[in-house]
Chains A and B, each alone.
Chain A
Amino acid sequence: MFRHAAPARLLLHVANLAVIAAILLPVVAVMIGSIQSEKALQADTRRVLPLEFTLDNFVVILTQGEQKGRIFEQATYLPDNIKKFYRAFANSLIVASSVTLLTLLFGSLSAYTVARLRFRWTLFLMQANIVSRFVPAIVLMIPLYIVIRSFGQLNSLSGVVIAETGFLLPYAILILAPYFDAIPSELEEAARIDGCTRFSAFFHIILPLATPAMAACGVIMFIVSWHELLIPLILNARPDFMTLPVVIASLVGDVFVFFNLMMAICLLALAPTVILVVLLQKYIVEGLAAGAVKG
C-alpha cells in the first residue's frame, strides 16, 4: 500500500528472512536427520551436514524391515512398529478420508439448518458446537473408551472414525455455517415457489454453490484427522489398526535409540499433509478464518 523507503525495505527483507528461517528450521532438521546414520550423528557432534549420507533409514521403513541396509545389519533391536508403516499409512488414509466425508456430509446438513432456520434450538445447537471445540480430548478418554467398547468398535477403524467424526463435527459446522449464511436466501425461495422441497433446494441449488466452503472445510478436516493422536492411541491397541501418529508415538520410548529412523518416519508421515497444504492453501486460509471469525 505504501512504498517504503530503502532502509525500511531492508529491514522488512531481513525480518522476512528471519521468519522464513524459523519456519524452515524444523523442516531442514528432519530432512537432514533422516538421511544420516546414528554413527554419523555421534561421530561428529558439531558438524551441521553429516560426512556421509544414507537412504538406509527409508529403506528399512519402506521395505518393512526386510532389507536392513548397511547401517542396521546387526541391529537386533529395531522397533517392531517400524515395520507396520504401510499399514499405518493406509489406516491413516482410510480414517482421514472417512472422517472428512462424514463431517462434510453431516456438517453441511446441520450448518444449513443453523444458518437458515432460526429456531431457538438450532441457535442453541450452534452455541453447543462452539463450546464443544473447547473440550479437551483428555477428559473424554476413558468414557469414550467405554462408549466405543459398548458399540463393539474397539480395535477397529470404524470406532476411530466414529469418535473423530463426533469430535470434529462441531468444528465443521462452525466453518460451514457462515458460508451458508452468506448465500442469499432468494435462491431457495425462488426454487420453493417453483415447487421444490426444502431438501431439493438444499441439495440441488445451495450445495453446488457451497463447493468452495466444502473444499475449505474438507481439507481442514482431513488435516486435523491425519494429525490426531489421542483418540486412536486410546481406542486401538492392536498394531494392525494403528494410525501413523500412534506408531510414531509408540516409538517415543525408543527415541534415544534411533533418532534418524524416527526422523525418517516423521518425514514420511508429514509429507501428505504438507503437500495438501501447499496445494490447497487458499482454501485452508479461508476455512480457518471462517471457523473463528463471525460475520
Chain B
Amino acid sequence: MRRELSAGQFALAMNVPTLLFLGAVLAFPVVYAGYLSLHKVGLAQLRRGEFPFSGWENYERVLEDPLFWIAVKNTLVFTAITVTSEIVLAVAIALLINQAGVWTSRITRFLILLPYAIPPICNGLIWSFLYNFQFGFLNRILFSTGLVQEPVNWAGNPDTALYAVTVPYIWRTLPFAIILVHAALQGIPRELYEQAAIDGANAWHRFRQITLPMLQQIIAIILILRTAFAFAVFEEILAITQGGPGDSTWVSAWYSYKISFSPPNNFGMGSASAFILALMIAAIALVYMRLVYRRVTL
C-alpha cells in the first residue's frame, strides 16, 4: 500500500500557498483596515506604530462630511450610467458580431478586445487628450466634419464632466461584457430560432421571445460584476479630472485616496470611508453569490 496523504491532507497541502497569500494579502489587510478605522491614525502615529483608540469618531466625521455624500452620489450616478449603457451596448454588439454572414462583423470581432488591452491609466490619459478643450483630438475631428463651430468643453464643464468620464470607462470595460454575452449567445440552441422562424416570428420577435430570456442569467451576472467594479472607479478620475471641475467628479475611491494621502493624512478617516465603500460592494457581492450558487454546484 503506498503511503500517501489522505484526500483531506492532500487538499490542504495543495492549498497552503493560496491560503497563505489570501490570508496575508487580502483577509488580514481588510480586517486591519477595519481596525485602523476605529483608531486615530496620522503620519506620526503610523511611524511610531501606536494608534490611540477613537471609537466611531472616524465614521462620524466621514458621515457628516458633505463631500463624502457628494462622492457617494457621484459614484451612484456614474455606476448607474455605465452599467445600463454597458448592458445595452454589450447585447447589441454581441448580436452584431455574431452575424457570421456579414464580413464587417468579422472585423469588429477581431478588434473587439482592443480596449481590454489598454492599461487603464493610459486610457485615462488618451481620453484626457481627446477631451482637451483647446487642442483636444475630439474637437479637431468635430471641426473637420463641420459638426461644431466652437470647441466643446467636455471634461471642464461641471455639468458634463461626470458623463464625460463614463465614456472612457465604458470603452475600456465593455469588451468583457461583450465576451460574456457572446459566449451566452452561443449557448442558445439554433433549433429554437429555426422553429420560431417557421412559426412566422420576425427578427424582433425572435430577439424578444428567445434571445432576451436566455440572456437573463448572463445579464444579471454582468449587472452585478460591473456594478461592483464601477463603484471602485479610480484611474479615469485620476487621469482626466482629478475630481474636478468643482466636485462634480469626486467619487468614493477618490475621496478615500485624498483623505488618506493628502495632508493632514488622516488614514483613520480614509480607512473608514474605504471600509464603507467596501461594505456597499460586499452587499453586491452577496447578491452575486446567491445568484451564481443557486444555479451551479461547483
Q: Confirm or deny: A57 has a beta carbon within 8 angstroms of a beta carbon on chain B.
A: no
Of A142, A274, A278, which one neighbours B271 at CB under 8 angstroms? A142
Q: Type the 1/0 row for B112-149, where 1 means its CB is closer than 8 Å to any CB of A.
A: 11111111111101111110101101011101100000
CA of A295 to CA of B289 in the docked complex: distance in angstroms? 15
Residues of B within 8 A of A147 (CB): 24-25, 28-29, 32
Q: Are A167 and B25 in contact (CB under 8 A)?
A: yes
CA of A106 to CA of B22 in the docked complex: distance in angstroms? 11
CA of A147 to CA of B23 in the docked complex: distance in angstroms? 11
Residue of B nearest to A126 (CB): B298
Q: Confirm or deny: B199 has a beta carbon within 8 angstroms of a beta carbon on chain A.
A: no
Q: Type the 1/0 row for B257-278, where 1 means its CB is closer than 8 Å to any CB of A.
A: 1001000000100110011011
Q: Of the 9-residue stretches B79-87, B157-165, B178-186, which lies at the interface with chain A?
A: B178-186
Of A105, A263, A276, which one neighbours B126 at CB under 8 angstroms? A263
Q: Are B104 and A270 in contact (CB under 8 A)?
A: no
Q: Confirm or deny: B88 has a beta carbon within 8 angstroms of a beta carbon on chain A.
A: no
Q: Confirm or deny: B63 has a beta carbon within 8 angstroms of a beta carbon on chain A.
A: no
Q: Knowing A24-B111, A138-B234, A178-B298 are in contact, say whether A252-B11 is a contact too (CB < 8 A).
A: no
- A-B interface pairs (CB < 8 A), number: 314
Q: Are B111 and A166 in contact (CB under 8 A)?
A: no
Residue of B nearest to A172 (CB): B18
CA of A33 to CA of B127 in the docked complex: distance in angstroms? 11
B211 to chain A, nearest CB (A): 12
B171 to chain A, nearest CB (A): 7
Q: Confirm or deny: A238 has a beta carbon within 8 angstroms of a beta carbon on chain B.
A: no
A72 to chain B, nearest CB (A): 18
Q: Are A12 and B36 in contact (CB under 8 A)?
A: no
Residue of A nearest to B239 (CB): A252
Q: Are A276 and B24 in contact (CB under 8 A)?
A: no
Residues of A within 8 A of B176 (CB): 288
Q: Type the 1/0 row for A177-217, where 1 means its CB is closer than 8 Å to any CB of B.
A: 11001000000000000010111000000000000000000
Of B18, B130, B137, B197, which one neighbours A109 at CB under 8 angstroms? B18
Residue of A nearest to B179 (CB): A288
Q: Are A285 and B15 in contact (CB under 8 A)?
A: no
CA of A230 to CA of B120 in the docked complex: distance in angstroms? 11
Q: Confirm or deny: A115 has a beta carbon within 8 angstroms of a beta carbon on chain B.
A: yes
Q: Knowing A4-B101, A131-B289, A138-B232 are in contact, say whether A47-B125 is a contact too (CB < 8 A).
A: no
Of B135, B257, B292, which one neighbours A42 at CB under 8 angstroms? B135
Residues of A within 8 A of B114 (CB): 23-24, 27, 274, 277
Q: Are A33 and B137 in contact (CB under 8 A)?
A: yes
A206 to chain B, nearest CB (A): 12
Residues of B within 8 A of A166 (CB): 21-22, 24-26
Residues of A within 8 A of B221 (CB): 292-293
Q: Are A144 and B25 in contact (CB under 8 A)?
A: yes
Q: Are B277 and A12 in contact (CB under 8 A)?
A: no
Q: Type the 1/0 row for B200-243, where 1 means its CB is closer than 8 Å to any CB of A.
A: 00010000000000000010011001001001101100110010
Q: Are A125 and B293 in contact (CB under 8 A)?
A: no
Secondary structure type dominating chain A contacts: helix
Number of A residues, CB within 8 Å of B = 108
Q: Are B29 and A140 in contact (CB under 8 A)?
A: yes
Of B10, B125, B151, which one neighbours A45 at CB under 8 angstroms? B151
Of A106, A136, A177, A262, which one neighbours B298 at CB under 8 angstroms? A177
Q: Confirm or deny: A143 has a beta carbon within 8 angstroms of a beta carbon on chain B.
A: yes
Tell me the A115-149 residues at the B interface (CB within 8 Å).
115, 117, 119, 122, 125-144, 146-147
Known: A26-B171, A131-B282. 7 other contacts (CB 8 A): A29-B126, A167-B26, A226-B119, A266-B122, A285-B113, A293-B183, A294-B296
15 contacts between A and B (CB under 8 A): A3-B101, A12-B99, A26-B118, A106-B18, A113-B11, A135-B30, A140-B26, A142-B36, A143-B271, A146-B32, A147-B25, A248-B119, A263-B126, A270-B118, A289-B183
B-side residues, CB < 8 A to A, are 2, 4-5, 7-8, 10-11, 14-15, 17-19, 21-22, 24-26, 28-30, 32-33, 36, 41, 46, 93, 96, 99-102, 104-105, 107-108, 110-123, 125-130, 132, 134-135, 137, 139-141, 143-144, 151, 168, 171, 176, 179-180, 182-184, 190, 193, 197, 203, 218, 221-222, 225, 228, 231-232, 234-235, 238-239, 242, 253, 256-257, 260, 267, 270-271, 274-275, 277-278, 281-282, 284-285, 288-289, 292-293, 295-296, 298
